[in-house]
Amino acid sequence: MTLNPDVDTALLDSTLEKYRAGGRANLLPALHDAQSIYGYLPEPVLKSVSAALRVPLADIYGVVEFYTMFYGEPVGKRMIRICADPACAMAGAEGALVAACQHAGGIHPGETSADGLVTVERVTCLGLCDQAPGALVGDMAYRNVTADNVIKLFDGQGFPSELRVAGEPRILTRNIGKIASLGLNSQKQVGTFASLEKALKEMTPEQVIEQVKASGLVGRGGAAFPTGVKWEGTRSAPGSPKYVVCNADESEPGTFKDRVFMEGDPIRIILGMILCGYAVGSNKGYIFIRGEYPQAMKLLQGAIDKMRSDNLIGEKILGTDFNFDIEIRRGAGAYICGEETALFEAIEGKRGFPRIKPPFPTTHGLFMKPTCINNVETLACIPDIIEHGGNWFKQWGTDQSTGPKLFCVSGHVHKPGVVEVPFGTPLRQMIEQHCGGFDGTPKAILMGGAAGGFMTPDQLDTKLSFEDLRAIGAPVGSGVVMVFNETVDLREVLRGLAHFFAHESCGKCYPCQLGTQRQMEILDRAVQGETRAEDWDALQDIGWTMTDASICGLGQTAASAVLSALKLWPELVKG
């Protein structure tokens, strides 16, 4: 941290005043606001935050140093973050990064230009895999950043990100890009709030839960836990207040569906949260959104404000006795916060360390109170289920995998993007009908994201369902489908995934902290052609140790893709 006694902390007084009453739970928003004022977080600022929120200064240092988007040293006035994870890497991100650093005065990634105007960073996934390479400049996301056009980012003349959605039928995504910008009166005319009217005026909370259970909906974030069972457990748990949390910390390489939803149809997500709150007996919700999604946060906050002004959020919603309000918490760059208990810790103003389970969130979640946490896509399913009934939802999908599903398709296809299809659709059919087909000859398909597993070309006719993918050892996960053609060196892909997990391990438990580092070192050697005879066995040992002994899902799945690849292509390391 830079010692700077000349910092005018008076600039921060009005900001801290609005956070003072909330204490430590307001630490993340206070730090974000402080950094927006000063450009970084010098010690005098942190001391002011400490005094206002009554949080020990040492704890605040720990939080600032934990999150990659907080800076204790001065950085450039323009921050250019270029993604270097697999989809962007194979689309030329490294060339764009080098060109950006050269244009900034010959600096290295992570450095600031001599004039102090620009900092260029190599970062993990920005949720722009369908528009790779992606970059975030300040609060603006840009697509298709190449070595030839990266100079445009320095003056904001690049190509802004898009919402790319396809599929058939379009159930969940039918309004993306169509009505999200309409005023509330127009939204009412097209029936956007019918589910809320029905639930609050015609249904008991128990009836809402029964319809969710009847739908067969399971969590769409990767864990696939039955949603209705989770809601029922939260409602029946003793203790109050109870909380509803939307996990919008989508940070896994290859995943971008939540960004598209939040930017394209934010009201649907908010409605899902309100309906969840009514069902479980909660009056307060939080949306935890990753720091790399400033545009999504802006649109969500705008939708919440409009709905509050029209009595759709707040006290006595629609003239009933039900009260429910929502706060947004912005993350600051930490993949681990996608783990539900680490997310709770972040909202509470702490480092994002996962908790030991049990106890589980339904009884001891946010602020150690009963909490129902669902991800964006799961909540987006709720309004239609309540409006039309659980059996209506089951007309799509299979017996064990009900409803429509969003898949994030990137890599070597002609039209990458979010694709909505019913569970049970064959993978090849989805890509050929909705993604323009394969770009080149497919070599490997990564399913489920960085924490997922690989499929081979002879498995392309596998149906996209929990049961069919499980039968071949591939997960649905977060819905990632990343295609690699014959031009790709899979060693490079595995090294990229290994670097991601080594960077994102929180370090709380030893198997993950050490295992992700050793996995990365071995795969670095493999790419450099320096494989050792014992490396294949070492990767197996490291991988299964992390899987069995890590305390949270990050460590338990940090080797999943690597182990999958070694099983299919042992020559990658043995060769």
Give the residue from 367, 152, 331 showing the smallest Cα distance to 258.
331
Q: In sequence order, what are the beta bridge partners of 81?
A: 121, 136
CB-neighbour burial class of residue 486 (10 A; exposed 0-12, middle 13-18, buried 19+): exposed
Q: What is the CATH number of domain 404-485?
A: 3.10.20.600
Q: What are phi and psi of 327, to 5 degrees?
A: -115, 150
Q: DSSP letters of 102-152?
A: HHTTSPPTT-B-TTSSEEEEEES--S-GGG-S-EEETTEEEES--TTTGGG
Q: How far apart are CA 139 and CA 128, in angstroms?
A: 14
Q: What is the predicted pLDDT for the residue at 2?
A: 46
**d(C-alpha 94, C-alpha 550), whole Å:** 32
Largest CA distance in the chain: 71
Q: What is the rounded distance in angstroms from the CA atom of residue 559 to the CA atom of residue 548?
A: 11
- Nearest Cα neighbor of 90 from 495, 532, 507, 536 is 495
The closest alpha carbon to 474, from 565, 369, 387, 539, belongs to: 565
Q: Whose CA is closest to 412, among 487, 483, 481? A: 483
Q: Is 490-574 the same fold as 404-485?
A: no
Q: Half-sphere exposure of 192 toward its Cβ, with a 13 Å CA cutoff?
A: 25
- Helix axis angle for 510-527 and 490-504, nearest 10°, is 150
Q: What does the pLDDT read at residue 181?
A: 58
Alpha carbon separation from 320 to 268, 277, 301, 537 (Å, rounded): 20, 14, 24, 63
What tokens were used for 2? 């830079």
Beta partners for residue 288, in sequence order: 247, 329
Residues 490-574, CATH architecture: Up-down Bundle (1.20)
3-class DSSP assignment, residue 410: strand
Tokens of 13: 């007084």
HSE at residue 440, side-chain half, CA atoms within 13 A, is 11
Per-residue model confidence (pLDDT) at position 190: 67
Amino acid at 197: E
Per domain, the residue ranges of the chain are 9-66, 78-160, 166-393, 404-485, 490-574
Q: Which of 515, 575, 524 is nearest to 546 (CA)?
A: 515
- Distance between CA 397 and CA 402 in Å, rounded? 4
Per-residue DSSP letter, 292? T
Cα–Cα distance measured from residue 188 to residue 310, given in angstroms and rounded to the nearest whole number: 11
Rounded CA gap, 246 and 305, in Å?
Answer: 17
So what's the pLDDT on residue 1? Answer: 44
pLDDT tens for 70-104 read 999 999 999 999 999 999 999 999 999 999 999 99
Handedness of CA 180, 184, 186, 192 (dihedral sign): positive
pTM, full prediction: 0.95
On whether the CB atoms of residues 573 and 534 are closer than 8 A, the answer is no
3-class state of residue 341 by DSSP: helix
Q: Which CATH class is domain 166-393?
A: alpha beta
CB–CB of 402/396 below 8 Å? yes
Digit-by-digit pLDDT tens for the chain (575 residues) are 444 557 899 999 999 999 999 999 999 999 999 999 999 999 999 999 999 999 999 999 999 999 999 999 999 999 999 999 999 999 999 999 999 999 999 999 999 999 999 999 999 999 999 999 999 999 999 999 999 999 999 988 899 999 999 999 999 999 887 755 566 777 776 678 999 999 999 999 999 999 999 999 999 988 889 999 999 999 999 999 999 999 999 999 999 999 999 999 999 999 999 999 999 999 999 999 999 999 999 999 999 999 999 999 999 999 999 999 999 999 999 999 999 999 999 999 999 999 999 999 999 999 999 999 999 999 999 999 999 999 999 999 999 999 999 999 999 999 999 999 999 999 999 999 999 999 999 999 999 999 999 999 999 999 999 999 999 999 999 899 999 999 999 999 999 999 999 999 999 999 999 999 999 999 999 999 998 889 999 999 999 999 999 999 999 999 999 999 999 999 999 75
The third-level CATH classification (topology) of the domain covering 78-160 is Glutaredoxin (3.40.30)
Residue type, 527: V
Residues 6+ apart with CB under 8 A from 447: 453, 454, 455, 469, 474, 475, 476, 477, 480, 481
Residues 12-48: tens digit of each pLDDT:
999 999 999 999 999 999 999 999 999 999 999 999 9
Q: The dihedral of CA 383, 387, 388, 391: what is its sign?
A: positive
